């Protein structure tokens, strides 16, 4: 299998104030094969989210090289990065990242707004996705009226809307009870079997049972567990 993600010597620091530098990633390298499912463990502040943000084109590294699906990400401007996020990447966040006063359909359709697909096509796919994720009845319900598990399914549906090659999940089970967690993991397993490349940053070791590789994040570096 070919590598869909290749990163070499990525560095990223934050500056809470001018004189204070907090390194988040320190010369990190990683290769991810297409269709692979990777779990990244690490304590809070270890740099998991930072890594996911860079992998997802939400943020840029200070230095290092990042190649996604054969494209050098460092050479892209903001609009081109936005296009990559829209077409190739789906995000699932711990706190769902949904617009509370909108319906599931309104939320799931968002990636279509920024894509070349028509809204008609988008609504059709939205319906199919909600069916597939077992929440067809939530299509017209406002997010603010849903449970945590329902919200996370809607968030997954949105992440899958533009049929991305890569799914990035940042603590996807952080706000869920154990039963719901298992259901969400089962969904990730199903998506992996469909050929999606999935990278999950988590504290929860239960994900190891379904991941192809498990990596440990510590002090801005990754190591195989």
Partner 1 sequence: MKKILLSIQIFLDNWLMNGILLVFAALVAVLLHFTVSEYVKYSERLILARDYGLQNQILVGNMLPTDDINRISERLAEASEEVIQLPGVARYAPASFGITALDEYRGNFIPLECVNEEYYGKTKYALAEGSWPNAPNEVALTAEAMALYSIGDNIEVTFYLSDMNDNMTSHESTIEIVGFVDENVAIWELVPNVFRPGLDELTTTLKEYADNYSPLDERMVFGYIIEPTTASGERIELIYQGGPYLITVNADTDPEDIKPQLIEIFGGGRVHTGPEMIHRYKVEHNEEYLQLIRFAFISLVLTMSSLFAAVFLQLRKKRLEMTVYYICGTSWAQSLWFFIGPYYPLITMGSLVGSAIYFKLAPQLIRTDPMTVVVILVFLLTVCSIQVLPSYFSARRIHPTEWIRKD
Residue ranges binding partner 1 (CB under 8 A): 44-50, 53, 56, 58-59, 78-79, 81-83, 85-87, 91, 93-94, 97-99, 101, 106-107, 110-115, 119, 158, 162, 170-171
Q: Which residues pair with 42 in a beta bridge?
A: none
Please identify, using beta-carbon distances, which residue of 64 and 212 lies nearer to partner 1.
Answer: 64
Please identify, using beta-carbon distances, which residue of 111 and 149 lies nearer to partner 1.
Answer: 111
Minimum CB separation of residue 4 from partner 1 in Å reads 18
Query: What are the DSSP E strand ranges found in the chain?
Result: 3-17, 20-33, 37-41, 63-68, 71-72, 89-92, 166-170, 197-202, 213-218, 221-224
Residues belonging to the chain: 225
Minimum CB separation of residue 135 from partner 1 in Å reads 19
Minimum CB separation of residue 193 from partner 1 in Å reads 25
Minimum CB separation of residue 107 from partner 1 in Å reads 8
CA torsion 118-124-128-130 (nearest 10°) is 80
Do residues 104 and 146 make contact, with C-beta atoms less than 8 angstroms apart?
A: yes
Sign, CA torsion 133/137/142/144: negative
Please identify, using beta-carbon distances, which residue of 92 and 189 lies nearer to partner 1.
Answer: 92
Please identify, using beta-carbon distances, which residue of 153 and 158 lies nearer to partner 1.
Answer: 158
> Two tokens at 210?
């379904």
> Two tokens at 161?
């809307």
Neighbour-count burial of 90, counting CB atoms closer than 10 A to its CB (0-12 exposed, 13-18 middle, 19+ buried): buried
Do residues 91 and 56 make contact, with C-beta atoms less than 8 angstroms apart?
A: yes
Please identify, using beta-carbon distances, which residue of 79 and 178 lies nearer to partner 1.
Answer: 79
| Residue 95: how many other CB atoms lie within 10 Å | 13
Please identify, using beta-carbon distances, which residue of 193 and 205 lies nearer to partner 1.
Answer: 205
Minimum CB separation of residue 89 from partner 1 in Å reads 9
Minimum CB separation of residue 86 from partner 1 in Å reads 3
């Amino acid at each position: 299998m070919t590598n869909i993600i290749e990163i070499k010597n990525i560095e990223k620091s934050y500056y809470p104030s001018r004189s204070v530098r907090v390194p988040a990633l320190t010369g990190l390298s990683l290769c991810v094969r297409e269709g692979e499912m990777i779990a990244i463990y690490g304590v809070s502040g270890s740099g998991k989210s930072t890594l996911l943000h860079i992998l997802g084109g939400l943020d840029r590294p200070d230095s290092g090289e990042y190649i996604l699906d054969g494209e050098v990400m460092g050479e892209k401007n903001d609009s081109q990065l936005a296009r990559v996020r829209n077409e190739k990447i789906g995000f699932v966040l711990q706190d769902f990242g949904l617009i509370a006063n909108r319906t599931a359909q309104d939320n799931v359709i968002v990636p279509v707004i920024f894509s070349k697909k028509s809204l008609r096509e988008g609504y059709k796919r939205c319906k199919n996705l909600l069916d597939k994720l077992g929440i067809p009845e939530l299509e017209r319900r406002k997010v603010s009226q849903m449970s945590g598990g329902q919200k996370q399914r809607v968030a997954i549906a949105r992440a899958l809307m533009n049929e991305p090659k890569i799914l990035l999940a940042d603590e996807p089970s952080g706000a869920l009870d154990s039963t719901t967690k298992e259901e969400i993991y089962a969904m990730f397993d199903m998506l992996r079997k469909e050929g999606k490349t999935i990278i999950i940053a988590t504290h929860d070791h239960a994900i190891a049972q379904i991941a192809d590789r498990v990596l440990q994040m510590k002090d801005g570096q990754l190591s195989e567990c």
